[in-house]
Amino acid sequence: MSGTGVDEYHPGLEGVIANETAIANIEGKDGAGGLEYRGYRIEELAEGVSYEETAFLLLHGDLPNRVQLAEFDQRLKAARAIPDALVKLFKEIPAHVHPMDSLRTAVSVLAHFDPEVDASPTDHAANVRKSERLIAQMATAVAYRERIRKGLPLVVPRDDLDHSANFLSMVSGKVPSETMWGAFDLSMVLYTEHELNASTFSARVTASTLSDLHSAIVAAIGTLKGSLHGGANEEAWKVLEQVGAPENAERWIHDALARKERIMGFGHRVYKHGDPRAAILKRSCAALAKEIGDDRWERIAEPIEREVTTKKMLPPNVDWPSARLYHYMGLEIDLYTPIFAMARIAGWAAHVIEQLDHNRLMRPRARYIGPPLRQVRPLAER
């Protein structure tokens, strides 16, 4: 991109290059659009790479070998426990509080108990270790808070289960099926990283002040909570609930388009020809619907997807299938965005570390559109 003059205004910062990164590429081959994590195409990662391998890739720069993966897995399992003080706090937080608010609080509290809380914000190795601990702890925090607000006994982490299966077992109290585990782990891989989205940008801005990693992640969580970002998957499910039945879908979408309503789960600021993650996750939705013996939501989603894509030229983004996927797993709607955060922590942390490794304070400009220069008059003359 050519140099941008101070007087050029880009609403929403669209098209503005604010960082250089070696973490993710969303332009794809020859700028055609796609998604790569550190040079690996998402389609290939989705075919046979676990969430643990993906997180290792983002934090350490390349996919792990067997020994590295085993050691990384053990470090994550060793870090799953969260402080008793945080569990006690979860019990004091009112049950109606959104899980994203609880998660934001949890990460802030976890900072106080991190063994390297006093490490320099530019200590690369310490930041990697903090990041690994947060990957494990955030999953436990989300699961514990969910059990507590439902008045259910806590399910402690299991060392014989990987990251995704352990989380699902801690929430539901039972080990997931192979199909359910695979679909959830795939969603975690697809949500792990996505270049300079709003929450990642928030994290990097915070880190650029030489604040600590936990503070940057808190900023990211606060940003992700918004319905135009992470909350979009919750809104996508509400669309399906409004339709209610397959026989209502054609009429509902026709009327919604006539009213020029915005249909959540469609379109993307960057992907003009379709989000590659949505196509990958759609197959998992069909497999899970078949396993539970209820394809009603697939039959509702299909005509909506077809009409919005053809009439509005807005293909689905990853939030459209993920909403159905998590419903099939019996997960509450307000857990969808915390799960997004659980996955994205690896990407956020990688960006925070990259920012701190090559830091420059972010300080953009604003175009002034207020009154011209005025003189202050005495109070009696106003």
**Structure token pair of residue 79:** 């870090």
Of 169, 182, 175, 107, the residue nearest 143 (C-alpha): 169
CA angle 22, 216, 334 (to 5 degrees): 100
Question: What 3-state DSSP class applies to 262?
Answer: coil
Question: Residues near 84 by Cβ (< 8 Å), separated by ≥ 6?
Answer: none
Residues in the chain: 382
Rounded CA-CA distance 268/132 in Å is 30
User: Residue 319 catalytic?
Assistant: yes
- Rounded-to-5 percentages of helix, strand, coil across the chain: 60, 0, 40
The token pair at 7 is 């007087």
b (16+ CB within 10 A) / e for 319-336: bbbbbbbbbbbebebebb
Give CA–CA dist 178/257, Å, rounded.
39
CA distance 67 to 73: 10
Find, among 184, 178, 119, the residue nearest to 326 by Cα: 184
Whether 30 sits among the annotated catalytic residues: the reply is no
The catalytic residue among 73, 319, 327, 351 is: 319
Look at residue 167 and give its three-state secondary structure: helix
Active-site annotation holder among 268, 275, 327, 351: 268
Q: Which residues are catalytic?
A: 268, 319
